[in-house]
Structure 1
């Protein structure tokens, strides 16, 4: 909401409230001002307010029942005054911050409007000012029904005006028969007989009659609140379970975190957040840092400045809702805007492997329900990240050579097939080389030193090729480099560079029996081929490069590069 609209709201409240109460006093002045009765009704008002609840974006406050009785006992002026008093107490219990202070004039105007409208409708429909206690409902059924109907309709209209004008977002409007509206209807219908009974028992029994009906009225408020809370908890846990299932289905750590940060803000207030993993207990890793308003600023992680350290060692969740509860790290991450946070451990096989922390600018933004839900999400997240890690290891093992770390033959064929299946096939060059006289190295220095030479060749290959191509151990002492969008001439130049990097720098091997290192010279024979000019399918391209290597390099004296064609 803009600042100008907040100012307008305060001005309207200041201008309308005294005028409205003056008009009410003149048209329906206070009657039956027994102090004991007034105090008792005010007490029931306040008790009812304390058992209000929230459905969706709407606060449900069950004042309709006591409102009718207050109108009949004291008149519209006192009924409106008591309603404003109850709403003031309610707003005080919400502990609003400065940004939300506009809710004070907003709610006061809304409930004042409801009091005036429902009272006016009751009188306009012929409702009696001093109804007969024995025939009250029989003589005033239509006005009573009008009172409650006006209360509901006025509430819906004022909510619509607020969300349409002050917020200006159609998506925030409450549609008919949404959960918010349904609960308003249910509460109104249930409170209607309570209001009638409250007045009737007061008229017959006096104060004792008030207490007889006040207890079930408050009990009804508590039951409705508990039932709503139970429903909300059930729905919330269903969404938590659904999110957990989606997390465990993902096989990439990046995808898991992206999914978490996409779905979780729809379940609870999330403005800031981060995830810390304790793979090595003394060396926690920050794997995610989140701001709702992403400004790109990175806050260096310090273990001593964070709540995660305490949560990790205690294994218990922590809710912080006051300034003294805030830790330096989350304060820095939020630029001192965080007003509450929730930090939960991530359990995997009975051990804490990480900590999930979220914060919000809303004061007291997290409840026990949120804690339970986030603990479940944290455990799902731990399983998902472990599964993703295991999948990455398995994937790497299936695609990589365990000795050199390069891609293996299986992955090479998969990549080449995919490239050749593309309709707009582009230039694709390939380099194949074989270590010269590798059998002699194995026979003379042993297979372990032969493996060391293979590893050394792979390291130099990665150093020279870098990200320009994909390096593969084809098998044995043969290697392959796949070069997308590289011409035959550039491919030949890179092959020559690879050959030189291996031939110009000796390799170190260890002579076990002599307990010393020895440098040996290693050379390679290289062949190149390029598609589509040399081949139009994967195995043909490999054969052409292999042919160039053996016929043009090996047979011509080794330690050289040959291009097919």
Structure 2
């Protein structure tokens, strides 16, 4: 939520804290001073107990709950408003230090300090106005107990109202406040209310021993709950890792695998920078994906050797690295890691005991990654390495099934799919026009008969190369079959298709083809020609097959029968 708070609001919070909290503490000390016979060691004991409670939030159902109020109730009833304020302010400081706030979140310290100051002051004034006294006597029952209960209830309600106000005004959040966190905090606070009164009564009778008697079990329970919660979190992450592994395995393209992998990681970890680096066969590291602040950027070229830099260290050792602050890794040369990064997590991507790549994650926050998550990311990297390998094999097999092995052009299967797709776009008015060129080598059989089939293959390969160079990105080139080739041109007019076909025709007729594998055994230079047929949609055809048929008719009727080595357009 810190990112939604602009700098002006943060400055206003710091200014408001300066104007209210320090002067307010001085005035509170003036009007509500602590007792003259106060025991400083007891105060230190309460401060220590409050600090321990603040540093060990209880994790209940995945929700962190900071149970400070039961300690503050005992302190207030025992020593009054000023000591309670100091105790709570120290607790807030300890709590936020425990959370390791990033630089942009430091405004939360004065914000929470201000909130608890207002809650303490207002609750204390309400207690006094109801006739409440310091060190009330609960033995006789009656008003002292009810006034103390009213104080505790008002304290909690006011605290929640201020949090709700900050959520709406400071953080601009539109989420419902009365969610899971609110329910669990309310339940646990109500349950622990009696602890505050018990601690107060025990301290009256036992003094410092009461702090140990109450604080010890509470700290033990908090630690057990945290350990249990952490185990649950790790189990949930392991389940997520298994699910993500299945999702990665379902992807058939390498880019899709990488995108999904980083998307899932970003949902689990605080990531400002992510780099996926591949180890190539020549033992070179190549960056295949670079994401900064959620944006995919062009990959950087860098030369990295084993045991050099963060990536090289992971590569050389085959072990993950984890750094909590920039000081821990600044001595390692890493040209691709941004200067403002603090936390870094580097994990090898292993397959069959071999490092296939390296994942480097970075955050501007200090200590953003816990050691317990290393095993999760390591498992995900293994899933990723296998999924990439499978996707690469699939892409290679798909490419081979869609390519002519001789010319390396697309084959008719691929071309037919593209033709149908483009014609559907035309029918949906996403395309305005579509042009098709079919060309056939003139007297190609005589080339095979005279020079051999190997020479015929040389002609086909060279012809395919010339067509691809001329067409470029303007259309799709495919081998239609035998010595026939097709060119599909989206958004091209009949005239534009005619001009392109004429350019190709001239490149074939004007420049000889060199034969090195002919049956004569000598290097030969021959000339060939080709004939072209053109049809366009929607003018000439209402469906994909009609477009092919009409272009083919133009080829044989308009070009072949008219003498060959020419371009002809379909005429209805």
Offset at residue 525 of structure 1 (A): 2.7
Change (3 A) 1:28 1:292: same
SS at match of 1:157: helix
Name the counterpart of 2:284.
283
8 Å contact 2:79–2:135 — kept in the other structure? no
SS at match of 1:303: coil
TM superposition score normalised by structure 2: 0.86
Name the counterpart of 2:111.
106
SS at match of 1:307: helix
**Bigger Cα displacement from structure 2, 19-28 vs 229-238:** 229-238
1:340 aligned to 2:343? yes
1:434 aligned to 2:440? yes
SS at match of 2:170: helix
Offset at residue 460 of structure 1 (A): 0.8
Name the counterpart of 1:80.
85
1:497 aligned to 2:503? yes
Name the counterpart of 1:176.
177
Inter-partner Cα distance in structure 1 for 2:423 and 2:70:
76
**Bigger Cα displacement from structure 2, 345-354 vs 122-131:** 122-131
Question: After superposition, what is the alpha-carbon deviation per residue over 1:53-95, rounded to whole angstroms, capped at 9, x for unaligned?
Answer: 6899997432122222222222222122122223333444555
Inter-partner Cα distance in structure 2 for 1:60 and 1:373:
26
Inter-partner Cα distance in structure 1 for 2:267 and 2:156:
28
Name the counterpart of 1:450.
456
8 Å contact 1:198–1:214 — kept in the other structure? no
1:8 aligned to 2:12? yes
Name the counterpart of 2:314.
311
Offset at residue 238 of structure 1 (A): 5.2
Offset at residue 230 of structure 1 (A): 4.3
Name the counterpart of 1:146.
150
8 Å contact 1:348–1:382 — kept in the other structure? yes
SS at match of 2:348: strand
1:362 aligned to 2:365? yes
8 Å contact 1:526–1:562 — kept in the other structure? yes
Offset at residue 406 of structure 1 (A): 1.5
Offset at residue 333 of structure 1 (A): 5.1
Inter-partner Cα distance in structure 2 for 1:127 and 1:317:
60
8 Å contact 2:126–2:151 — kept in the other structure? yes
SS at match of 1:170: coil
Offset at residue 459 of structure 1 (A): 0.7
Change (3 A) 1:97 1:557: closer
**Bigger Cα displacement from structure 2, 46-55 vs 465-474:** 46-55
**Bigger Cα displacement from structure 2, 260-269 vs 190-199:** 260-269
Offset at residue 491 of structure 1 (A): 2.4
Name the counterpart of 2:412.
409
SS at match of 2:436: strand
1:531 aligned to 2:534? no
Which of 36, 39, 48 is matched with 2:44 structurally?
A: 39
Number of residue pairs matched?
Answer: 560
8 Å contact 1:133–1:203 — kept in the other structure? no
Question: After superposition, what is the alpha-carbon deviation per residue over 1:3-37, rounded to whole angstroms, capped at 9, x for unaligned?
Answer: 44333323322332233323433454323522342
Change (3 A) 1:59 1:489: same
Offset at residue 259 of structure 1 (A): 4.3
Which of 470, 473, 493 is matched with 2:476 structurally?
A: 470
Which of 552, 555, 559 is matched with 1:549 structurally?
A: 555
Name the counterpart of 1:480.
486
Structure 1 unaligned regions, length at least 5: none
8 Å contact 2:438–2:555 — kept in the other structure? yes
**Bigger Cα displacement from structure 2, 55-64 vs 263-272:** 55-64
1:564 aligned to 2:570? yes
8 Å contact 1:427–1:486 — kept in the other structure? yes
| 1:48-447 alignment, distance < 5 Å | 48-52=53-57, 60-94=65-99, 96=101, 98-123=103-128, 127=132, 129-132=134-137, 141-167=145-171, 169-171=172-174, 175-236=176-237, 243-260=244-261, 262=263, 264-280=265-281, 282-292=283-293, 299-303=300-304, 306-324=309-327, 325-326=329-330, 334=338, 336-421=339-424, 422-424=427-429, 426-447=432-453
Question: After superposition, what is the alpha-carbon deviation per residue over 1:40-60, rounded to whole angstroms, capped at 9, x for unaligned?
Answer: 222212222221368999974
**Bigger Cα displacement from structure 2, 287-296 vs 448-457:** 287-296
8 Å contact 1:404–1:455 — kept in the other structure? yes
Inter-partner Cα distance in structure 1 for 2:561 and 2:441:
14
**Bigger Cα displacement from structure 2, 56-65 vs 221-230:** 56-65
Structure 2 unaligned regions, length at least 5: none
Change (3 A) 1:371 1:118: farther
8 Å contact 1:123–1:143 — kept in the other structure? no
**Bigger Cα displacement from structure 2, 550-559 vs 455-464:** 550-559
8 Å contact 2:433–2:493 — kept in the other structure? yes
